[in-house]
Amino acid sequence: MRYYIGEELTAADNWEDVYPPIEAPRNYKDPQKIAEYIERRKYELATGEASMNPLTGNVTRVVAIKNKADDIDVVFDEAGAGIGAKFLDWFLKDTGMDTDPTLLKEQLVVGCNVRRDLRLMAIEYIFVNGSLPFSLWWALDLEADFRYNQIPGFIDPLSAIFGTSSTDMAAAGRRFGLVEDPEAKEENLDAEARAVLAYQLAKRMGL
């Protein structure tokens, strides 16, 4: 069974406690320009690096498309607190792995930056439930039969095609004619658009 997922991330409320204090470059002398720089840098971190950092990032929405033969269906689309843990619980039940772990060998999860985002979900699961059951070890890349960029496993089409997960997914979509807006940026793609793009890129790979 193939699942194509897209996620939206945000920084935790206390993300600034983890990062060193933000300071303007030393050549900045005007107090207003210094304040503007610090605010701009805070925004950049909160919507970028801090939202992706395992210590400070939160998953706020998950969309999953399931593909069986030629049927394509959005089967999960939820947002809110604890949604990463809720998605992993749903995934176990939907695949049947919660009662039959051998079904692990039949699963493939595809998503842009899927390894990072599954790790964030697993961390959230541990926070919400107290521990990570062995049936979800694959989310932390601990299950030997369920590996990164392998089948069965979780595949990042950005990494597989371009050699790095840091490729801007909107630009990757434009490269293959899948994203028409020339101004689109990765940060502007919502979870559903990311799931659809993961599906389209995977299909270009023949998955």
Looking at the domain assignment, is residue 27 inside a domain?
Answer: no
pLDDT (tens digit, 9 = 90+) per residue, 14-63? Answer: 999 999 988 888 898 898 988 999 999 988 888 889 999 999 999 999 99
Owner of token pair 């990072």: 116
Is the pLDDT score of 68 beyond 80?
no
For residue 184 the two structure tokens come to 């689109």
Please tell me what DSSP assigns to residue 56: T
For residue 41 the two structure tokens come to 């840098």
H/E segment holding residue 61: strand 57-68
Output the pLDDT for position 193.
93
**Cα atoms in the 13 Å half-sphere on the side-chain side of 15:** 22
Q: How many domains does the chain have?
A: 1
Domain of 83, in residue numbers:
2-8+63-204
Looking at the domain assignment, is residue 107 inside a domain?
Answer: yes
This prediction's pTM? 0.89
Please tell me what DSSP assigns to residue 178: -
Looking at the domain assignment, is residue 185 inside a domain?
Answer: yes
Looking at the domain assignment, is residue 20 inside a domain?
Answer: no
Output the pLDDT for position 107.
93
Looking at the domain assignment, is residue 111 inside a domain?
Answer: yes
Please tell me what DSSP assigns to residue 107: -
